[in-house]
Amino acid sequence: SCPYSCYCLHEAAKYEKKVMVLDFVTPTPLGNSWGLGGTCVNVGCIPKKLMHQAALLGQALEDSRKFGWQFTEEVKHNWMTMTESVQNYIGSLNWGYRVALREKKVTYENAYGEFVGPHTVKATNKRGVEKLYTAERFLIATGERPRYLGIPGDKEYCISSDDLFSLPYCPGKTLVVGASYVALECAGFLAGLGLDVTVMVRSILLRGFDQDIANKIGEYMEGHGINFIREFVPIKVEQIEEGTPGRLKVIAKSTKGNQIIEGEYNTVLLAIGRDSCTRKIGLDKVGVQINEKTGKIPVNDEEQTNVPYIYAVGDILQDKLELTPVAIQAGRLLVQRLYAGATSKCDYVNVPTTVFTPLEYGACGYSEETAVEKFGEENIEVYHSHFWPLEWTVPSRDNNKCYAKIICNIQDNERVIGFHVLGPNAGEVTQGFAAAIKCGMTKEQLDSTIGIHPVCAEVCV
Partner 1 sequence: PVLLLEPVPQNPGPQNEYDLLVIGGGSGGLACAKEAAQFGRKVAVLDYVEPSPQGTKWGLGGTCVNVGCIPKKLMHQAALLGSALKDAQHYGWNIAQPVHHTWSLMAQAVQNYVKSLNWGHRVQLQDKKVKYFNMKGSFSDPYTIRGLTKAGKEVSCCVISAILPVCSQIAGALEYGITSDDLFWLKKSPGKTLVVGASYVSLECAGFLTGIGLDTTVMMRSIPLRGFDQQMASLVTEHMESYGTKFLKRCFPTKVEKLESNRLQVTWKNTDLGTEETDSFDTVMWAVGRAPDTEALNLEAVGVKTNSETGKIVVDASEATSVPHIYAIGDITEGRPELTPTAIAAGKLLAQRLFGQSSELMDYDNVPTTVFTPLEYGCVGLSEEMAVRCYGSDNIEVYHAYYKPLEFTVAERDATQCYMKVVCLREREQRILGLHFIGPNAGEVIQGFALGIKCGATYPQLMKTIGIHPTCAEEITKLHITKRSGLDATVTGC
Q: Does the annotation place 299 within a ligand binding site?
A: no
To partner 1, the closest distance from the beta carbon of 143 in angstroms equals 14
Q: Are 330 and 313 in contact (CB under 8 A)?
A: yes
Q: Does the annotation place 273 within a ligand binding site?
A: yes
CA–CA separation, 211 vs 429, rounded Å?
Answer: 20
Q: Does the annotation place 21 within a ligand binding site?
A: no
Q: Convert 253-292 to b/e letters by CB count within 10 Å (16 or more is b).
A: beeeeeeeeebebbbbbbbbebebbbeebbbeebebebee
CA–CA separation, 427 vs 441, rounded Å?
Answer: 19
Q: Convert 89-116 to b/e letters by CB count within 10 Å (16 or more is b).
A: ebeebbeebbebbeeeebebbebbbebe
To partner 1, the closest distance from the beta carbon of 12 in angstroms equals 16
To partner 1, the closest distance from the beta carbon of 458 in angstroms equals 6
CA–CA separation, 207 vs 369, rounded Å?
Answer: 12
In terms of Cα–Cα distance, which of 144, 127, 125 is closest to 22? 125
Q: Does the annotation place 183 within a ligand binding site?
A: yes
Q: Nearer Cβ to partner 1, position 163 or 322?
A: 322
Q: Nearer Cβ to partner 1, position 187 or 323?
A: 323
Q: Are 460 and 404 in contact (CB under 8 A)?
A: yes
To partner 1, the closest distance from the beta carbon of 378 in angstroms equals 26
Q: Are 209 and 355 in contact (CB under 8 A)?
A: yes
Q: Which residue type occupies 452?
A: I
To partner 1, the closest distance from the beta carbon of 164 in angstroms equals 15
Q: Nearer Cβ to partner 1, position 152 or 325?
A: 325
Known catalytic residues are 453
Q: Does the annotation place 178 within a ligand binding site?
A: yes
Q: Nearer Cβ to partner 1, position 258 or 396?
A: 396
Q: Does the annotation place 315 within a ligand binding site?
A: yes
DSSP state of 459: G
To partner 1, the closest distance from the beta carbon of 114 in angstroms equals 27
Q: Does the annotation place 113 within a ligand binding site?
A: yes
Strand 197-201 relative to strand 174-177, pairing? parallel
Q: Are 238 and 209 in contact (CB under 8 A)?
A: no
To partner 1, the closest distance from the beta carbon of 206 in angstroms equals 16
Q: Nearer Cβ to partner 1, position 286 or 408?
A: 408
Q: Does the annotation place 180 within a ligand binding site?
A: yes
Q: Nearer Cβ to partner 1, position 10 or 122?
A: 10
Q: Does the annotation place 181 within a ligand binding site?
A: yes
Contacts 24+ apart (CB under 8 A), 279-285: 280/114, 281/113, 281/114, 281/115, 281/140, 281/142, 282/114, 282/115, 282/116, 282/121, 282/122, 283/115, 283/140, 285/115, 285/116, 285/117
Q: What is the DSSP string of 141-190?
A: ---EEE----STTHHHH-EEHHHHTT-SS---SEEEE--SHHHHHHHHHH
Q: Nearer Cβ to partner 1, position 53 or 120?
A: 53
Q: Does the annotation place 179 within a ligand binding site?
A: yes
CA–CA separation, 304 vs 140, rounded Å?
Answer: 10
Q: Are 132 and 120 in contact (CB under 8 A)?
A: yes
Q: Nearer Cβ to partner 1, position 86 or 201?
A: 86
Give Cα 102 to chain centroid, integer Å: 28
To partner 1, the closest distance from the beta carbon of 230 in angstroms equals 29
Q: Which residue type occupies 111?
A: A
Annotated binding site for NAD(+): 178-185, 273
Annotated binding site for FAD: 49, 113, 315
